[in-house]
Amino acid sequence: MSKLSIRDLNPAGKRVLMRVDFNVPLDDEGNVTDDTRIRAAIPSIQHLVDAGAKVILMSHLGRPKSEKKPEFSLKPAADRLNELISVPVKFASDCIGDEAADSVANLQDGEVLLLENVRFYPGETDNDPEFAKQLAENGDIFVNDAFGTAHRAHASTAGVTGHIDQCAMGFLIEKELEYLVEKLEDPPKPFVVIMGGAKVSDKIKILERLMEKADAFIIGGAMATTFRLAQGHEIGKSFAEREEEALELARGILQTAKENETPFYLPIDTRHTLEFEDDAPTECTDPWEEGGAIPADREGIDIGDRAIEEFERVIADAGTIVWNGPMGVFEKRGFDIGTKAVGAAIAANEGAIKIVGGGDSVTAANQFGFGDKMDHMSTGGGASLELLEGKELPGIAALDDK
């Protein structure tokens, strides 16, 4: 996927309209509580500032449902960026119209302006051509560095490209493509895919696509419970996809893995509890292969101790690792043992290419202090999943080819 890069631009003196992903969490006082996405955009912003461009940033925040709601204002994001970057960051109280136009007109070379939330207008998610044209009037060049929204054909990600002559990707999207596409074309072996989270049906396409390349799969979380149910085991009150359609998907994946002779590691045992609360007492099942079952009144909430030991051995030998999804309900104390252990095992494999595929896996890696040990942690949940599935992302496809 050879797209025009920010590296290829000559932006000096130009208005560069840049789509960033500043959809960050805020506390009750309106302060940014996690600035990871803001920090991820800084290399591209700083590059344009250093080149003498006028940098106009646009983003969404939350779901204001096309209404101008103060609690969804991007002003806190502007304030946080202002603390992190070498030049003052200005803020416009609108993203189109006179307020935006005046703010852009007053911008000097090497300065940064953040426009107000693009989702205050229905034309953003509708990819309305007129709204896209109004946004595009703010720039001479367009740079998309918002990987987290690249899978959406919105006005600020795809629509604007029809009204600006030069459209390129930023450093963040460039890195996402490097790790989620290029490095997985011929990955160092063994290539181990670790999948967790809630639903098999959400990740069936990834499992099917990577089945052709992966040397082994490790499955945890509620996904594993669905597979065990599909095999005919008792899973108690555990969350699982119990519909026959989902169970058939699980059986199909197991059959494909068997036919391809691809090791498909389900947890040998499962940690379960009576109480879904922090620090609740837990027990591990007997090995599933020997008839282990979760009692009818208990709920599986993590992989068991034997599963952790087996998964650690597989991970230690890997040459490439893709991790997408936690092993259990890691948000609760005492239910985080498996996710923490798997994250630690990945981090400890210094020779492997280690890719964390966005969403809860990134949250877990940061929470347990493994983030800096990973080669790449994707900033996009849905976008990374679709890229791993082999889908074309509209926000990237719309950019200029080299």
Q: Which residues are the active-site residues?
A: 37, 199, 359, 382
Following DSSP, what letter does each residue of 346-375 receive, concatenated?
HHH-TTSEEEE-STHHHHHHHHTT-GGGSS
What whole-number distance in Å separates Cα of residue 79 and Cα of residue 49? 17
Q: What are phi and psi of 100, to 5 degrees?
A: -65, -45
Beta-carbon contacts of residue 284 (< 8 Å; ≥ 6 apart): 269, 270, 271, 272, 304, 305, 306
The torsion angle over the Cα atoms of residues 187, 174, 36 and 74, rounded to 10 degrees, is -150
Tokens at 374, concatenated: 């990973």
Nearest to 180, CA basis, from 44, 353, 397, 334? 353
* 396, 373 Cβ separation under 8 angstroms: no
Give, in order, the Cα–Cα distances in Å from 80 to each of 30, 103, 199, 391: 11, 19, 35, 34
Nearest to 69, CA basis, from 130, 146, 121? 121
What whole-number distance in Å separates Cα of residue 51 and Cα of residue 67? 36
Beta bridge partners of 320: 191, 353
